[in-house]
Structure 1
Amino acid sequence: MYGFAQRKDTVVEDEPLYAHYLKLSPSKPYHPGANEILARMENDGKKVVEHMLGEFDRPIVFFKNMTHHLIGLDWSFMKNGINIILTRDPKEMLLSFSKIIEKPVMEDIGYAMQWDLLQYLKGNKYPCLVMDAKKFLMDTEGQITKLCEACEIPYDQQMLKWKAGPIPEDGVWARYWYQNVHNSTGFQPYQEKREPLPGHLLPLLATCEPLYRRLLDYSI
């Protein structure tokens, strides 16, 4: 999202379906800032989708969405854009995620839904591609070049760097989740996380790993 926000030809929106998801998931009050998200954002997912498919003042529009935020929606709207599924090694993802939400469940992290979504997109021949976070960080410029080619947009080197601190496009939850990116000035080289995963997350990891490996088979 921060990379696309550097492009002068692009509008960026951060998780516009978050409030829709929280409204349909009343068991999720443990999400930081949930009440503020519900109060400040559109709760009706259908209205959000109409907005996403509307007119914008720049030729490219980038929506950062979480797969699990798509609950309760007709996914056919995704035929109107290019759908990029960004996945990540579940051990590394769970280590990061559990710093904010200590006891996540599959619904929170979305691996099962990522796989279902990929099958849906491919089955309907909707434009889609898969990117892996590790591969991306090991060859950021090459991966962004491939991404731009797949999206049929010009490569822009400005996507590689940004100023430290928040950006106007940040969601209202940024203060809970975005500390690392606010301290950054670009994509950091990949570094393996060696911290042990808490024991209570091991069953969830075991469920996620085969789904992740399937997704990797499709990654660019």
Structure 2
Amino acid sequence: MYSFAQRKDTKVFDEPLYAFYLKNSNAKAYHPGAQNILETMENDGQKVVDMMINSSESDVLFYKNMTHHLLDLNRSFMKNLTNVILTRNPIDMLPSFDKVIQNPTLDDVGYKLHTELIEGFRKNDIDFVVLDSKNVLLNPEGVLKQLCDHIGIPFDENMLKWEPSQRLEDGVWSKYWYDNVHKSSGFSEYKPKIVPFPKHLESLLNECLPHYKELRKLALI
């Protein structure tokens, strides 16, 4: 999202379906800042989708969403979008997630939902592309150029760097999740985790890995 926000032709939106997800799931009981999110964002998922589809605020509109936020929404609107799935090795991702939401489940972290979403995309001829965060960090310009080509927009070198700070578009939850992003000025060098993987997450890791391996096969390099 921060990368696309550097484009003059682009407006970004931070997780517009978050309140809809919280209102219609038990996640409101354990997501930090849930009540504030519910009070400050649109709770009606269909109204959010209508906004996404009908907005004309900029030539390029970038909606950062989480797969689990879709819940039971009709997915047909996704035919009108280029759907970018961003994944990350669960060995790296799960310990970080667990620091904010302890003992997450498979539905919380999205890997199974991503492969199910791709299955639906294929059945319904819906456009999608997969990014692996490791590939992006190893070759940010190369991967972003491929992504822009897929979308049908020119690559912009400004996508590679930004000023360390918050953005006006950040959701009210950013204080819980975005600390490293706010300190960043671009895509950091990839560094694998060197601390031991938490034992209490090993079962979840084993559930996630088959889905991640399928996503990895499709990722731009």
Shorter-chain TM-score tier: over 0.9
Separation in 1, partners of 2:89, 2:209: 8
SS in 2 for 1:63: strand
Q: Which residue of structure 1 lines up, in the alignment, with residue 77 of structure 2?
A: 77
- After TM superposition, the structure 1 = structure 2 runs for residues 1-220 of structure 1, keeping only pairs within 5 Å, are 1-220=1-220
SS in 2 for 1:11: strand
Task: Return the letter of the residue paired with 1:31.
Answer: H
1:180-209 Cα offsets, whole Å, 9 max, x none, are 000111110111011222211100000000
Task: Return the letter of the residue paired with 1:128.
Answer: F
Quick one: structure 1 residues 27 and 153, their matched pair in 2 at CA, closer, same or farther if it must change by over 3 Å?
A: closer
SS in 2 for 1:137: helix
RMSD: 0.8
- Residue 27 of structure 1 deviates from its aligned partner by 4.4
- Residue 55 of structure 1 deviates from its aligned partner by 2.8
SS in 2 for 1:13: strand
Contact 2:28 2:35 in 1 (8 A): no
SS in 2 for 1:204: helix
SS in 2 for 1:53: helix
Unpaired runs of 5+ residues, structure 1, are none
Separation in 2, partners of 1:135, 1:78: 25
SS in 2 for 1:191: coil
Deviating 4+ runs (over 3 angstroms): none
Separation in 2, partners of 1:60, 1:81: 11
Unpaired runs of 5+ residues, structure 2, are none
- Residue 28 of structure 1 deviates from its aligned partner by 3.6
- Residue 57 of structure 1 deviates from its aligned partner by 2.5
Quick one: structure 1 residues 132 and 110, their matched pair in 2 at CA, closer, same or farther if it must change by over 3 Å?
A: same
Separation in 2, partners of 1:118, 1:111: 11
TM-score by length of 1: 0.98
SS in 2 for 1:217: helix
